[in-house]
């Protein structure tokens, strides 16, 4: 057993607190997706299922971007009823070693060895889940919840696979998300207030296409900006501060394109937006006609927003991401007409490095994409929401 050297000698606490105790361990690889998914899951388990959640995160600075009320200098704090611990080194498992009923290691991060030992010593063995990355590939349903016995301890870890279809873990969706979206969509006041806050001005006139752009650096962007500039009708582009801001600045010959920036060329009007607290991202999707999203969590939010979207998938070595892109396309594009499906595939592929995006070819199918976005959100809901699926499974194991 590996023993921590710089923290007090841990003790395994004997009394379980009321309600299900859950520890989530999250190592931030890069960007915001790892902590983005864990933070949503933590809140949902706490607020909708009444669990007592502790979230161990190794990068509080990334976390503060999504949750500005967090203080990155605190080793331990409570935020929205969730205990957040700075997982400051791999062996750290909190000041007192308390083993939860349900232990979630996110995205194959490695649990502190002393914690695993504590799990093996606990009278009732915890439910141990490795929360995997989302994939729409077919094999996911077969591997979801498969057991993996520990080589030395009487512990079984299970792989919890998010997915887009039934028999997978589903994707995170808060109970009130649809109601919140409906309230936003039905309220011209909420709409106008959002535009004022985000851009400093009123909503655009009818006839403009509003597009949000959240993506990684992308060589296809220059061509697309030029096509929007030359578009027959206005395109209003909303760009949260981030990895594409530099390319937008270069297109306009500006030194930077930060939050609060505005620029116009031809029919393209661009606003630089502040990166918001995580809950603030959904209204951006609802305010737009088309959303460019990336990674994992924004990809999911765009689907719940029930609007057409373009996915910049997280690039992996050896193009391992491309089958995942096509698997998602296969589900999403299935009922589209042959022309619309082909245009969607061409555009998504071009946005992910294969070809040049053709805006006119894509945009002519937007009404069909819009109808499909709505039917897809209903289909996706059949997979159940991830927190709910996880809670149901954990409870069957804890009996
Ligand atoms: O940031 P991402 O690219 O995250 C990831 C990571 O790179 C991770 O390592 C990788 O494995 C994973 O993708 C697949 O993209 P993602 O997943 O969309 O996360 C972005 C988060 O940022 C999401 O929770 C929404 C949030 N967000 C805000 O809170 N405010 C904002 O203004 C914006 C634009 C996003």
Q: How many CB atoms lie within 10 A of CB 108?
A: 11
Residue ranges per domain, the chain? Answer: 2-172+384-398, 177-382
Q: Are strands 262-265 and 209-213 parallel, antiparallel or unpaired?
A: unpaired
Q: Are strands 209-213 and 235-240 parallel, antiparallel or unpaired?
A: parallel
CA 112 to chain centre: 25
> Cβ contacts of residue 5 below 8 Å, gap of 6+?
none
pLDDT value at residue 303? 98
pLDDT value at residue 340? 98
Q: How many CB atoms lie within 10 A of CB 185?
A: 13
Tell me which residue has tokens 């299900």.
Answer: 20
- Of 296, 297, 368, 385, the catalytic one is 296
Atom of ligand 1 nearest to the CA of 278: 29
pLDDT value at residue 8? 34
- Tell me the whole-structure pTM to 2 decimals: 0.95
* Strands in 9-93 per DSSP E: 21-26, 52-57, 76-79, 82-86
Q: Does any ligand 1 atom lie closer than 6 A to the CB of residue 276?
A: yes
- The CATH number of the structural domain formed by 177-382 is 3.40.50.2000
Q: How far is the CA of 31 from the centre of ligand 1 (A)?
A: 6
Atom of ligand 1 nearest to the CA of 299: 18
Q: Does any ligand 1 atom lie closer than 6 A to the CB of residue 32?
A: yes
Q: Does any ligand 1 atom lie closer than 6 A to the CB of residue 252?
A: no
pLDDT value at residue 399? 81
* 3 state SS for 301-365: HHHHCCCCEEEECCCCHHHCCHHHHHHHHHHHHCCCCHHHHHHHHHHHHHHCCCCCCCHHHHHCC
> Going residue by residue through the chain (399 aa), what tens digit of pLDDT does each one get?
222 323 333 334 434 446 899 999 999 999 999 999 999 999 999 999 999 999 999 999 999 999 999 999 999 999 999 999 999 988 999 878 999 999 999 999 999 999 999 999 999 999 999 999 999 999 999 999 999 999 999 999 999 999 999 999 999 999 999 999 999 999 999 999 999 999 999 999 999 999 999 999 999 999 999 999 999 999 999 999 999 999 999 999 999 999 999 999 999 999 999 999 999 999 999 999 999 999 999 999 999 999 999 999 999 999 999 999 999 999 999 999 999 999 999 999 999 999 999 999 999 999 999 999 999 999 999 999 999 999 999 999 998
> Structure tokens of 42?
């933590």
Q: Does any ligand 1 atom lie closer than 6 A to the CB of residue 36?
A: yes
């Amino acid at each position: 057993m590996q023993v921590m050297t710089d923290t007090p000698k841990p003790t395994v606490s004997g009394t379980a607190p009321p309600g299900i105790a859950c520890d989530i361990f999250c190592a931030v690889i890069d960007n915001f997706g790892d902590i983005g998914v864990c933070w949503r899951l933590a809140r949902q388990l706490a607020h909708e299922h009444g669990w007592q959640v502790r979230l161990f995160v190794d990068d509080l600075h990334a976390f503060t971007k999504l949750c500005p009320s967090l203080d990155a200098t605190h080793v331990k704090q409570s935020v929205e009823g969730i205990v957040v611990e700075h997982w400051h080194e791999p062996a750290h498992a909190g000041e007192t070693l308390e083993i939860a009923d349900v232990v979630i290691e996110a995205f194959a991060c490695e649990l502190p060895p002393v914690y695993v030992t504590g799990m093996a010593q606990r009278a009732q063995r915890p439910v141990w889940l490795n929360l995997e990355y989302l994939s729409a590939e077919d094999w996911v349903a077969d591997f979801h919840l498969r057991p993996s016995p520990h080589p030395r301890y009487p512990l079984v870890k299970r792989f919890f696979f998010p997915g887009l279809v039934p028999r997978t873990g589903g994707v995170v969706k808060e109970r009130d998300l649809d109601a919140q979206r409906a309230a936003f969509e039905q309220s011209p006041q909420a709409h106008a207030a959002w535009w004022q806050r985000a851009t400093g001005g009123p909503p655009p006139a009818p006839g403009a296409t509003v597009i949000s752009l959240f993506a990684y650096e992308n060589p296809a962007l220059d061509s697309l900006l030029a096509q929007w500039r030359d578009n027959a009708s206005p395109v209003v582009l909303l760009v949260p501060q981030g990895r594409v801001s530099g390319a937008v600045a270069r297109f306009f010959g500006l030194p930077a394109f930060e939050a609060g920036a505005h620029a116009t060329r031809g029919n393209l009007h661009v606003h630089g937006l502040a990166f918001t607290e995580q809950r603030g991202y959904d209204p951006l999707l609802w305010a737009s006609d088309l959303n460019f999203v990336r990674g994992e969590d924004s990809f999911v939010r765009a689907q719940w927003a029930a609007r057409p979207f373009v996915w910049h998938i997280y690039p992996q070595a050896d193009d391992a991401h491309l089958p995942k892109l096509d698997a998602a396309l296969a589900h999403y594009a299935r009922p589209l007409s042959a022309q619309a499906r082909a245009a969607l595939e061409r555009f998504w592929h071009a946005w992910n490095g294969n070809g040049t995006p053709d805006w006119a070819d894509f945009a002519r199918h937007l009404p069909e994409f819009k109808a499909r976005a709505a039917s897809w959100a209903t289909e996706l809901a059949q997979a159940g929401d991830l927190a709910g699926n996880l809670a149901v499974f954990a409870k069957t194991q804890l009996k």
